[in-house]
């Protein structure tokens, strides 16, 4: 005999007659934050510790406890729960992805969504101390497999081939996340150069150079004392040439504007055998979130042998936006420059 609540019509779906089949679901969601918080999150230096490591565990626990929080979900013996993260400087913020699988009579979509929400709320809790203006966004089911309805793919899923059962393209990871936890840090030596007449003469304090050096150290790079040079093309080019013998990365701050003394882009172009226009475009795009004046920046990047050279604006805000972009691009850029595959 089946007992129903006739007043409300609420009741669990009876799956007793179904046969267990392989079920899988992947969900995704984002957390938007300010650039300062993003850099601290990326470096694992938030006051409460490494938010992503904590959130990975929280997401797994949330997926397992789904039936306790959502009344009509069936308790399931889950085969696997995996939580991964994608740090995105353009957001800026982080995307969480949760993949759940089970051999069961019903799907695991809600478990995957619960895992994403649990992970994002944990990151929210750790980040809110330094940035309370946070937004959880775009929580959705990406793909689901198994059961009577078969495979379903969200129209804008970022890796639809994963839902089809086909292997990913050669060289691509089997996770939806292009930047899994732990792969964002880089190893190498960086040289920081501040380009400023006034700082060189001691008439102004260099605030951007030390900020840039600290940010690069947070990304895993070794940096020494900040070099300060005047706004003179030949001297800037000479420093780049000299530093390239010991550095994997040279980052300059200052001299990218429109004044007659702003010649850093010309100095970079004079010595680099190959320019990388996309980095300059990404830097201007990131700066646009803070000010429309970023469109006037002439930030550039190029290669001097196997050394990557990047010119950022001279303001602390421009440096912070630039660090967020470099945090995303440097791991792959270093890999390819050193001869690795795409």
| Residues labelled as active-site residues | 125
264-271 vs 233-243: helix axis angle to the nearest 10?
Answer: 50
The residue count of the chain comes to 342
Q: Are 80 and 100 in contact (CB under 8 A)?
A: yes
Q: How far is C-alpha 73 from the chain's CA centre?
A: 33
Q: How far is CA 144 from CA 129, 139, 152, in A?
A: 36, 15, 5
**DSSP per-residue codes, 24-58:** EEEEEEEEE--HHHHHHHHHT-BTTB-HHHHHHHH
Adjacent-strand bridge partners of 311: 252, 300
Residue 168 backbone zone (phi > 0: left; psi -120 to 50: alpha; other: beta): beta
Q: How far is CA 248 from CA 155, 186, 192, 222, 253, in A?
A: 41, 11, 11, 10, 17
């Amino acid at each position: 005999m089946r007992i129903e609540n006739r007043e409300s019509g609420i009741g669990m779906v009876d799956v007793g007659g179904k046969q267990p089949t392989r079920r899988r679901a992947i969900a995704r969601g984002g957390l938007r934050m300010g650039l300062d918080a993003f850099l601290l999150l990326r470096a694992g230096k938030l006051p409460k510790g490494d938010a992503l490591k904590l959130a990975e565990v929280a997401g797994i626990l949330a997926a397992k406890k789904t039936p306790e929080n959502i009344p009509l979900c069936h308790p399931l013996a889950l085969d696997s729960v995996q939580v991964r993260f994608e740090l995105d400087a353009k957001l800026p913020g982080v995307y969480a992805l949760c993949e759940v699988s089970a051999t069961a009579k019903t799907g695991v979509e809600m478990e995957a969504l619960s895992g994403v929400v649990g992970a994002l709320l944990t990151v929210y809790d750790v980040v809110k101390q330094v940035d309370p203006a946070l937004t959880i966004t775009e929580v959705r089911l990406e793909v689901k497999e198994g059961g009577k309805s078969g495979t379903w793919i969200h129209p804008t899923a970022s890796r639809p081939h994963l839902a089809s059962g086909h292997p990913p393209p050669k060289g691509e990871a089997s996770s939806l996340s292009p930047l899994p936890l732990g792969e964002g840090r880089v190893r190498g030596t960086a040289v920081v150069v501040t380009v400023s007449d006034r700082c060189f003469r001691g008439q102004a304090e260099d605030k951007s150079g030390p900020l840039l050096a600290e940010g690069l150290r947070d990304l895993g790079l070794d940096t020494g004392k900040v070099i300060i040079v005047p706004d003179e093309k030949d001297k800037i080019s000479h420093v780049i040439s000299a530093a390239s013998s010991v550095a994997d990365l040279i980052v300059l701050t200052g001299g990218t504007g429109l004044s007659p003394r702003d010649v850093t882009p010309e100095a970079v172009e004079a010595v680099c055998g190959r320019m990388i226009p996309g980095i300059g475009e990404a830097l201007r795009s990131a700066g646009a979130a803070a000010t429309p004046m970023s469109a006037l920046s002439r930030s550039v990047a190029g290669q001097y042998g196997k050394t990557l050279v990047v010119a950022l604006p001279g303001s602390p805000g421009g440096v912070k936006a630039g660090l967020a972009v470099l945090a995303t691009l440097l791991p792959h850029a270093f890999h390819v420059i050193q001869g690795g595959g795409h």
